Amino acid sequence: MPLRVFTRRDEVARKKQMTEKDKFKRAQNVLGRISSELTELTDDRFERAIEPTQVGSNAEEGEEEKDDIIHGGSPQTEHLKMKPFNARGPKVGRPRLVRVDADNKRHAEQKSYNQGKTLRKALRGEDVMEVAQYIRTHKPGLEQLQSFLDTFEVRFTRHTKKKMTVQSRPPDAANTLTFRLPQTLVTKALEEIRKTSGSTVVDLACSQTATDVQWIVTIEGAGEFSEQQLKAMYYLGDLANTCKLGLQCYSWLMTSVDPLLEERCRAGGDTVCGETEAYAVAKELMKTWPHTQLPGFDFPIEWSNIYCAREETWYNDLVIEAFTTTLSAKYGKNKTIFLPQVQLPDTNEGN
């Protein structure tokens, strides 16, 4: 009686899981044997052997079509025709640029950016307090200052967490801030310091340095900021708003006032070195430090004070002199005054 002895190696081979590659090889071997056997059959036997497979394939297709109809599908009667990709065809969905306008805009932006390259090179990587001190000392012109502040990083513009904690301790020496916060967030942080330090006695005879004990504000989700850093941020934010008003005044002078004065110059009006007065003022405005004192007045007035000049505030010299003289006599050297809102008389009352 024949006996078959199973070894442990055979048992391991049976229990070993087959890989996808092994299954593919075995399926190929089986299909190869079936193909060779079918080709050796006669025509009649070959047709009888192939017929069941075709019937089963047709039955499966019918079941799939029936299932689609039952479940709300619709049999596809027409295949979608896809156009071949043409790399030389026009790009769909992207508007064509007007090259002349795009180039002019790019050149203008590049020129404006290059105006602040000197400040960027000198203040790259510096703390916000060093930036504010450098600007106070060197007093750059409006055009140069605006270009620098326009690219100075402003973080946490969408900060929604307003929880703040105020402490009195020496600041962290390694806490270098190369950015500024939004003006609203800085204002709120300084208000928190004023509320906390309301009952604290401050020695005004001693100058405060960056290493002395000072107020530290911890803003949830933003970090820690010293009082000196917050004041520097507030100063830079105020300068940015001033520069914005200065550019608006420059635009108004060049687009509204200068064309009118050009017509007068053609008719024999006065010019300054062959230029209109508006153009000369606009050029001087762009290259002058915003807080430079204006000559010709008996009291201190700066360039930034005329940035708000528009058509609604366009008065003659006598009105301006009378108004400024009145303010000087009433308020002296105060830089901040509060004027009541102008109200027009009611015509129905007969005034």
pLDDT at 274: 61
Kindly report the three-state secondary structure assignment for every residue of 226-240: EHHHHHHHHHHHHHH
Q: Domains of the chain: which residue ranges? A: 104-197+212-234, 243-334
Q: Give the mean pLDDT per block of 10 residues along the chain (351 residues).
A: 53 64 81 78 79 60 55 55 66 70 84 88 92 95 93 87 85 84 92 80 48 84 90 94 92 84 68 71 91 82 82 60 72 64 51 42
Specify the residue for token string 């100063």. Answer: 235
pLDDT at position 200 is 53
Residue 177: which of 158, 153, 146 has the closest Cα? 153
Q: pLDDT value at position 1?
A: 47
What are the beta bridge partners of residue 239? none
Q: Put residue 68 in one of left, alpha, beta given phi > 0 → left and psi -120 to 50 → alpha.
A: alpha
pLDDT value for 78: 58
Whole-number Å distance between alpha carbons of 138 and 292? 12
Question: Are the CB atoms for 134 and 118 separated by under 8 Å?
Answer: no
Could you give the CA distance from residue 154 to residue 177 in angstroms, rounded to a whole number? 11
- The answer to whether 309 and 251 are in contact (CB under 8 A) is no
Phi, psi (deg, nearest 5) at residue 78: -140, 130
DSSP bridge partners of 215 = 168
pTM of the predicted structure, to 2 decimals? 0.58
For residues 320 and 169, give the distance between their C-alpha atoms in angstroms, rounded to a whole number: 50
| DSSP three-state, residue 179 | coil
Of 129, 307, 84, nearest to 230 by C-alpha is 129
At residue 48, the pLDDT reads 80
